[in-house]
Amino acid sequence: MSAYPFRVIAGQTGIRFRVEPLSSKHDRAAFSRGEAALDNYLHKQAGQDVRKHVAAVFMLTPDGKIVAGYYTLSQFSVELGAVPEEVAQELAKYRAVPATLLGRLAVAKQFRGKGLGERLLVDALRLSLGAGKLIVSAAVVVDAKDEGAANFYKKYRFIQLPKIPNRLFLPMRTIEEMMAAGDPAEA
Ligand SMILES: CC(C)(COP(=O)(O)OP(=O)(O)OC[C@H]1O[C@@H](n2cnc3c(N)ncnc32)[C@H](O)[C@@H]1OP(=O)(O)O)[C@@H](O)C(=O)NCCC(=O)NCCS
Phi, psi of 101 (to 5 degrees): -95, 120
- Right CATH number for 7-186 from 3.40.50.1110, 3.40.630.30, 3.30.70.270, 3.20.10.10? 3.40.630.30
pLDDT score of 52: 97
pLDDT score of 4: 61
For residue 117, how far is its CA from the centre of ligand 1 (angstroms)?
A: 6
For residue 165, how far is its CA from the centre of ligand 1 (angstroms)?
A: 19
Q: What is the 3-state secondary structure (H, E, C) of the chain?
A: CCCCCCEEECCCCCCCEEEEECCCCCCHHHCCCCCHHHHHHHHHHHHHHHHCCCCEEEEEECCCCCCCEEEEEEEEEEEHHHCCHHHHHHHCCCCEEEEEEEEEEEECHHHCCCCHHHHHHHHHHHHHHHHCCCCCCCEEEEECCCHHHHHHHHCCCCEECCCCCCEEEEEHHHHHHHHHCCCHHHC
Residues of the chain with confidence (pLDDT) below 50: 1-2, 187
pLDDT score of 3: 52
The preferred substitution site among 152, 154, 158, 170 for testing ligand 1, maximizing ligand atoms within 8 Å of CB, is 152
What pTM, to 2 d.p., does this model score?
0.90
Ligand 1 atom nearest to 38, measured from its CA: 42
For residue 152, how far is its CA from the centre of ligand 1 (angstroms)?
A: 5
For residue 122, how far is its CA from the centre of ligand 1 (angstroms)?
A: 12
For ligand 1, residues with CB inside 6 Å are 33, 38, 105-107, 112-118, 144-145, 148-149, 151-152, 155
pLDDT score of 1: 38
Instruction: Supply the residue whose CA is at minimum distance from atom 33 of ligand 1.
Output: 115
